[in-house]
Amino acid sequence: MTDVRQKIQDTIDSTDVVLFMKGSKEMPQCGFSSRVAGVLNYMNVEYRDIDVLKDADVRQGIKDFSDWPTIPQLYIKGEFVGGCDIITEMTLSGELDQLFDKAGVTYDKDAANKIREANA
């Protein structure tokens, strides 16, 4: 499991935004992964998607790594942010925008505002 843990650490260290998800950003394989990928895609965030369905060790390893029991999991600048419910809440409250701003991650602010307007 140490190799998997190192692989996960290397991945989140080498990319500003990483989404561990079921499926890919182009073809999510569960509703929760689809929601988070949809937010990131709509906001034009550049991110790396890791399909946990392709590797059972990574699927369990990421849960152990974060001490978080569910997928998807979003990491920004090496820090675990949360899963679907947390990302949804942060998007609607504007906290995700603030986190992207603080981390220097480029995103479409107009798209973020449209998400909030549509859910007001």
Residue 37 · residue 30 · CB < 8 Å: no
Give the model's pLDDT for residue 120: 85
Give the model's pLDDT for residue 26: 96
The whole-model pTM stands at 0.95
Residue 90: band (very low, low, confident or very high) from pLDDT cuts 50, 70, 90:
very high
Q: SS3 of 16, please?
A: coil
Residue 30 assigned ligand-binding role? yes
Q: What is the CATH number of domain 2-118?
A: 3.40.30.10
Give the model's pLDDT for residue 2: 74
Inter-CA distances, 79 with 22, 111, 113, Å: 20, 24, 24
Residue 61 pLDDT exceeds 70 = yes
